[in-house]
Amino acid sequence: MGAPQELPEWPHLEKLLATVPTPFLMVNLADIRRRYLELQRVFPGVKIYYSVKANPAVQVLGLLRDLGAYFDIASIYELDRLLGLSVPPARISYGNTIKKEKDIAYAYERGVRYYASDSDEDMRKIARAAPGSRIFFRIITEGSGADWPLSKKFGAHPDVLFTLILEARELGLDPMGLSFHVGSQQRDIGQWDQSIAHCRYLFDACREKGTELSMINLGGGLPSNYLHETLGLDVYAGEILRFVEEDFPKNPPELWIEPGRGMVGDAGILASEVVLISQKNRRDIHKWVYIDAGLFGGLIETLGEAIKYPILTDRTSSLAATETVVRDYPRERADMEVVLAGPTCDSMDILYQNHRYRLPRDLSVGDHVFFLSTGAYTTSYSSVEFNGFPPLKAYFIDGDQPA
């Protein structure tokens, strides 16, 4: 059992259920505040760059701005939103390695001075459009052990980066450090060890050539509480900081982390309603449960059943009594194997078919189905109007305030 599941405040949820139609996402800002403070505590002295793409709602960004967080952006659109919320550009890094030159210029004109890079062409763009900026170079990682792995889309091999780093100075840039990302929802802490060792190698190689790197961006990958258990945040932090200490016993580098899912994932609960329950064939032992939330309406991370959210229904017992029932759904009451699917006419819009969730046998049309830990990568992924359905709406509460 990892970090305790921060369950949303149920009175807020019950109020929402009584007033707005499903599907919707309820985000508890109090959970995000607690998580931020916890991250500060377990990663002392580490700069926390919130990965805006995980949940770009102004309510979330405003809260983190007030808490003093830094922000990592993937596009100029995210930059505009942050600046609109009066976030100082000095607290923003442009972490996408795939950038148009005009977008780099746009960010530079607005004061952004930190950029990620992993290719010669991108670095030359930065040199032209954002002269003198500070660059962190992204090391390619395998991402094994991650529920939502990172493939080879980002980063480059250390040898390629070595050449880039030395070239950076000649181009008038400041090669400040390195970054890597072990994959989102990374369940193998050892993955950080390997990447930090790559950093050590590059720090040494660059120093020999007279270039001192001074920063390591440890990326994201910190987990949310999904169906499969993970270790606690304190264990992650302790191990990761120990890896750094071992590889950098003197002159410790400046450290950044970029939590996205790890910051907001557990703060969301997606409420849906059962639309239909059917059986395709007299001999089928499982039923099809169709709900009004689907793959293209916020639950895209169920693609390939990558992310397995904890699921609750209001049939099990009263809402108030469900707080203890999260991972270990009581088998004796949840004795119906189901395929869970969304409401659209698209055959791809199936949430879980291979992993058979067990739901109460008396589940009925109109009952609610709740997906926990849906605070990250849900609303922003939602389709514009697939099958005509509107995008997933989000409501924000602050569970630390009275309901």
Contacts with its own copies in 104-133 (CB under 8 A)?
118-122
Residue in this structure with the two tokens 């950029």, named with its chain if needed: 115
From 93, 241, 245, 239, select the one nearest 177 (Cα to Cα).
93
Hey, which residues between 183 and 212 contact its own copies (CB under 8 A)?
A: 183
Residues 275, 319, 325, 326: which binds its own copies (CB under 8 A)? 275
- Closer to its own copies by CB, 309 or 329: give it: 309
- Closer to its own copies by CB, 6 or 147: give it: 147
Q: Which residues, at least 6 apart from 2, have a Cβ–Cβ distance to it below 8 Å? A: 223, 225, 229, 230, 231, 232, 233, 235
Residues 159, 229, 245, 400: which binds its own copies (CB under 8 A)? 159
Give bridge partners of residue 255 from the DSSP assignment.
216
The answer to whether 347 contacts its own copies (rule: CB under 8 A) is yes
CB of 196 to its own copies, least distance (A): 20
Hey, which residues between 33 and 72 contact its own copies (CB under 8 A)?
A: 51-53, 56
Hey, which residues between 360 and 389 contact its own copies (CB under 8 A)?
A: 365, 379-389
- Closer to its own copies by CB, 163 or 401: give it: 163
Residues 90, 190, 197, 279: which binds its own copies (CB under 8 A)? 279
Provide the greatest CA pair distance for the chain: 74
The answer to whether 154 contacts its own copies (rule: CB under 8 A) is yes
- Closer to its own copies by CB, 106 or 329: give it: 106
Contact at 8 Å (CB) between 23 and 272? yes
- Closer to its own copies by CB, 316 or 379: give it: 379
Q: Which stretch binds its own copies (CB under 8 A): 32-40, 236-244, 324-332, 341-349?
A: 341-349
CB of 338 to its own copies, least distance (A): 13
**Backbone phi and psi for residue 50, each to the nearest 5 degrees, phi listed first:** -75, 130
Q: Contacts with its own copies: how many residues (CB under 8 A)?
A: 77
Strands 336-341 and 350-359: antiparallel
Q: Write the interaction track for its own copies spanning residues 294-313; mark x where CB under 8 A is met and - where it is not.
A: --x---x--x----------
Hey, which residues between 75 and 94 contact its own copies (CB under 8 A)?
A: 75-78, 81
**Which long-range contacts link 239-248 to residues 24+ away (Cβ below 8 Å)?**
239/189, 239/192, 239/193, 240/189, 240/192, 240/196, 241/43, 243/192, 243/193, 243/196, 244/196, 244/216, 247/196, 247/197, 247/199, 247/200, 248/200, 248/203
In 85-232, which residue ranges form alpha helices assigned H by DSSP? 101-109, 120-129, 158-170, 190-208
Residue in this structure with the two tokens 């019950």, named with its chain if needed: 14
In 182-232, which residue ranges form alpha helices assigned H by DSSP? 190-208
From 42, 52, 149, select the one nearest 379 (Cα to Cα).
52
**Backbone phi and psi for residue 57, each to the nearest 5 degrees, phi listed first:** -65, 140
CB of 53 to its own copies, least distance (A): 5
Residues 212, 245, 390, 403: which binds its own copies (CB under 8 A)? 390
Q: Which stretch binds its own copies (CB under 8 A): 23-31, 189-197, 205-213, 270-278?
A: 270-278
Residues 1, 37, 90, 98: which binds its own copies (CB under 8 A)? 98
- Closer to its own copies by CB, 260 or 310: give it: 260
CB of 28 to its own copies, least distance (A): 21
The count of residues in the chain is: 403
